[in-house]
Amino acid sequence: MIAYRSATGDDSVSEAIERGGEFFLSHGLMRSERTGEVINQRWLDLHYPLYWHYDVLHALNVLAPLGVLDDPRLSEALDLIERKRLPDGRWRPKGYYWRMPGSRGSLPEEVVDWGRGAPNEMITLNARRALKAAGRAMAGLAHR
């Protein structure tokens, strides 16, 4: 809806965007509003590509255009992303929703080898975007 509003200038979706953003903020992107427990532990793992799945990094990047990443309710999610940063300033995926071409399995077959176990360029890009939008310093890291 954010992209639709930006592309069309149609402000009729603004209220829905704000309500949706508030829903995610009220849950800190990952916690039950009722119990405070993490809703799904897999949401804390970083993945790329995500396909139709969810993780907190993706949620941060979806909310970034709303200008809300400095909201204190997101500090836990942002801290999580920072803790997952490797010493060289990159991020590694924890799980996968794809399989290599020609391999067997129920996961979608991907035509690109996104690498398994190695730092992932797209996760790194998305993490840096989220941290920058949140005003979190990335000092001392070389640009790759």
Q: How confident is the model at residue 136 (pLDDT cuts 50, 70, 90)?
A: very high
81, 91, 93, 124 from 118: Cα distances, Å? 17, 9, 8, 11
Q: Whole-structure pTM over 0.95, yes or no?
A: no
Question: What is the amino acid identity at position 12?
Answer: S
Distance CA 30, CA 43 (A): 7
- Residue ranges covered by each domain of the chain: 40-133
Q: State whether the Cα torsion 10-53-47-111 is positive or negative.
A: negative
Do the beta carbons of residue 118 and residue 92 sit within 8 Å? yes
Q: How confident is the model at residue 138 (pLDDT cuts 50, 70, 90)?
A: confident
Distance CA 136, CA 144 (A): 18
Q: At what angle do helices 56-63 and 75-83 cross, to 10 degrees?
A: 120
Give me the phi and psi of 25, to 5 degrees please. Answer: -60, -40
Tokens of 37: 């427990």
- What is the arithmetic mean of pLDDT over 19-23? 94
The model's pLDDT over 90-117, given as tens digits with 9 standing for 90+, comes to 999 987 666 666 667 666 666 566 666 7
